[in-house]
Chain A
Amino acid sequence: MAEFEPQIVAFCCNWCSYAAADLAGTSRIHYPPNVRIVRVMCSGMVNPIYVLKAFEGGADGVLVAGCHLADCHYLDGPVKCDAMVDKLRKVLHVLGLEDERLRREMVATSEGVIFAQVIREMVEQLKKVGPSPFKAKMEALV
């Protein structure tokens, strides 16, 4: 049987993390192709339902990435995002999901290397953790 390849949905903010992903690409930095990036205007606008829907759709992990605290285009986006992730983590914990499946990162525009590193780490961790318990529904689509 082929090795399990986790699927990651990454919500990246338009101003920093998405640009970092771009930089990783234009700089020819290699990182695993397991991630599907969704560009959002700010990490502060990522609603818990986006993350839950990603899991419902069969994602093995979700990454929420945005600007560093002082860099936000909208001033307090990362603060809102942190609060949302903290709350959601508690809910997902009750649901029995491993902590590794939801990751919160701050990646600035210039940090293409860090973006690639985050994805590499996440894929490695998720391979250890195994497929998401909600996977079954998604299987048909892949």
Chain B
Amino acid sequence: MNLEDIIQETKTYYCLECGKCTSICPIARYDSAFSPRMMIENALLGFEDELVLNQKLFSCLTCYTCQQECPSDVDFPIFVRKARSIAQDNGQHGICAHSGQLQSLARLMTSPAIKQKRLEWLSKEYRVSEDSDVLLWVGCAPYFEPIFEDIEFSPLDITKASLKTLNLLGIEPKLLSNERCCGHDALWTGDIETFKKLAEHNATQIKEAGVKKIIFSCPEGYRTFKLDYPNYVDLGCEVQHISELLAEKIGQNGVKFKEIKKKVTYQDPCRLGRHLGVYDAPRKVLESIPGIELVEMRHSGWESICCGTSAFTNCDSYSNMLRAERLSEAVETGAEMLITACPKCQTHFRCAMVDKGEEKRSMPEIEIMDLANLVANAIKEEVIISK
């Protein structure tokens, strides 16, 4: 794909140069060298090298805030994603966080010969079924578990909580023992080749498993399956985020919660919120737990501020400033706990709170928890099981 095709496809030529994108962009607020408008202009004026050979191309969070305000409806995140694939062809990969381990793992997972041991955490207290037509997507959690152990974060806890919640709702899901990375990070860093291979592996396995519905505890996987997979592979099944499933069950009065007295605030993950428009389901779940008081941050809903990095590239001091801003907004609300529905938000916020850098910067601190964990703690066991 060349630049001209990208301009045609994302309707970049409609750009009015109004600069709303740059003024609302969370990264541009801190990093004056980053400008979505300038990137679009470079593309329209044919300065391809200025666009694709610039490291700043990988700074975009693809958080979709710009697109909410754009009067011409230019799909800037997709524009960036496609420009990144040209950049990849030119040997640019952005500055990969964690020295690029996570990108490398995705590439390693494209090998058809591997036999992963990704379900060793599964203990007898969880009920799974081989014949179920509902699948719980585990995703990267088993890999993130050792990688992020020093920031006191356990992604598998979220998976376990989701599985427990499903069990309590009377669902015994199937788990795939050899599923691959969904390819979200590969796709958004422009590594289309890796993404295609991963998507094909996953689609084949899902078809063989004969499932009708996939439940996600990670919005990135959810987005990728819902919006990106249909362009490359045929899945032939429904996908749903666990918060949507819960909201649905609560609507049918199928869930009983015990009281948890806590004042909480909610961080909208960009993939779940702006990408897919799921704002109400997680709030509905939070509000239906007795004792939980939900207070909104200064920026919430579509305005909410991103956690600062996407696809593990270009995580820099600007990302950290963004996290500090978001965390201070959370603290300002007076909430005891920050609830999010995305494991990656949690990774980035926790990292910012633990790793204060050599300059020992001050970072607002707040307890942080995934929605699935809160729900698993709050759900009344006896009621559901006897049902």
Contact = CB atoms under 8 A, between A and B. Distances in A.
A73 B99 CA distance: 24
Contacts of A56: 104, 107-108
Contact of B105 (A87, A90, A91): A91
B111 A52 contact: no
Given A87-B149, A90-B146, A133-B113, A95 B108 contact: yes
Summarize A's interface: helix, strand, loop or mixed: helix
A79 to B, nearest CB: 15
Among A53, A94, A136, the most chain B Cβ lie within 10 Å of the Cβ of A94
B101 A49 contact: yes
Given A90-B146, A136-B111, A95 B104 contact: no
A94 B139 CA distance: 12
Contacts of A53: 104
A134 B100 contact: no
A95 B101 contact: no
Interface in B109-162: 109, 111, 113-118, 120, 142-143, 145-147, 149
B147 A52 contact: no
B106 to A, nearest CB: 11
A47 interface: yes
B132 to A, nearest CB: 23
Interface residues of B, number: 22
Contacts of B120: 94
A86 to B, nearest CB: 9
A136 B112 CA distance: 10
A52 B101 contact: yes
A52 B114 contact: no
A96 B116 contact: yes
Given A49-B100, A52-B101, A95 B109 contact: yes
A91 B143 contact: yes
A94 B102 CA distance: 13
B104 A96 contact: no
Nearest to A133: B113
A48 interface: yes
A28 interface: no
B118 A134 contact: no
Contact of A48 (B99, B107, B108, B142): B99
Contacts of B101: 48-49, 52, 91
Interface string A61-90: 000000000000000000000000001001
Interface of A: 47-49, 52-53, 55-56, 87, 90-91, 93-97, 133-134, 136
7 closest A-B pairs (Cβ-Cβ)?
Answer: A133-B113, A90-B146, A52-B104, A49-B99, A96-B115, A96-B116, A133-B114
6 contacts: A49-B101, A49-B104, A87-B149, A95-B108, A95-B143, A134-B114
